[in-house]
């Protein structure tokens, strides 16, 4: 029998049907990991990259969702999101029974994960931002008040978002930094082995 099982399903959150993929270990999970995605990606990214399987093999419950309105016209539409992004993510975490969750948030999904971090941080076990957008919308003092353990990830070739997000996120009280050498904006795709090694090592510290 496989060490983990992979399922696909939908869950209704705030009146929207959300598709998600889930990998579960055979035993009771050590941690619950929720994977978001960037603008050109979906939950399928984490399936193809084997992130879901590797997390489950390491004993964690891993869930990757498709954010609503995936074919975003250049990210204009989500700014008018109903409900608010932070509240929406809270509803997702509760609907899927993921609290406390480790939240992995690349790129565009920062518009969801950052409000969630500040408004509903008690539902988070840890935060793994991967060069997310919207980091400049919050003050250094706001970041400094957040107690959530954070692994800041970016590729050293990501000259725009990588540097901007790092300069803002480094104000978080409890953070570590993982730089993927030779990797661009979607650094986990460029350096999957280093990404998985760093993520799994971070999760191990949390247990």
Catalytically active residues are 107, 158, 185
* Calpha distance 90→121 (Å, rounded): 10
Compute CA distances 163 → 15, 89, 152, whole Å: 37, 26, 11
Check the CA dihedral 128-106-135-178 and report its sign. Answer: positive
- H helices then E strands: how many in the chain? 8, 8
Sign of CA dihedral 202, 135, 89, 174: positive
Q: What's the token pair of residue 111? A: 């518009």
Measured from the Cβ of residue 170, the count of other Cβ atoms closer than 10 Å reads 13
């Amino acid at each position: 029998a496989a060490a983990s099982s992979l399922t696909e399903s939908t869950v209704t959150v705030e009146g929207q049907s959300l598709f998600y993929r889930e990998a579960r270990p055979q035993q009771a999970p050590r941690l619950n990991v929720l994977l978001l995605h960037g603008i050109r990606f979906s939950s399928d990214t984490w399936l193809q990259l084997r992130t879901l399987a590797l997390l489950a093999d390491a004993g964690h419950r891993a869930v990757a969702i498709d954010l609503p309105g995936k074919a975003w016209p250049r990210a204009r539409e989500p700014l008018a999101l109903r409900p608010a992004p932070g509240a929406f993510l809270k509803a997702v975490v509760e609907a899927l029974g993921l609290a406390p969750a480790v939240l992995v948030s690349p790129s565009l999904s920062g518009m969801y994960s950052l409000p969630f971090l500040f408004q509903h941080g008690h539902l988070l076990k840890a935060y793994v931002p991967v060069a997310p957008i919207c980091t400049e919308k919050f003050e250094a003092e706001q970041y400094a008040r957040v107690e959530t353990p954070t692994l800041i990830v970016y590729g050293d070739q990501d000259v725009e978002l990588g540097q901007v997000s790092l300069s803002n996120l480094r104000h978080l009280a409890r953070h570590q930094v993982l730089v993927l050498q030779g990797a661009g904006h979607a650094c986990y795709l460029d350096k999957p082995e280093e990404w998985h090694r760093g993520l799994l090592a971070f999760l191990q510290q949390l247990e």
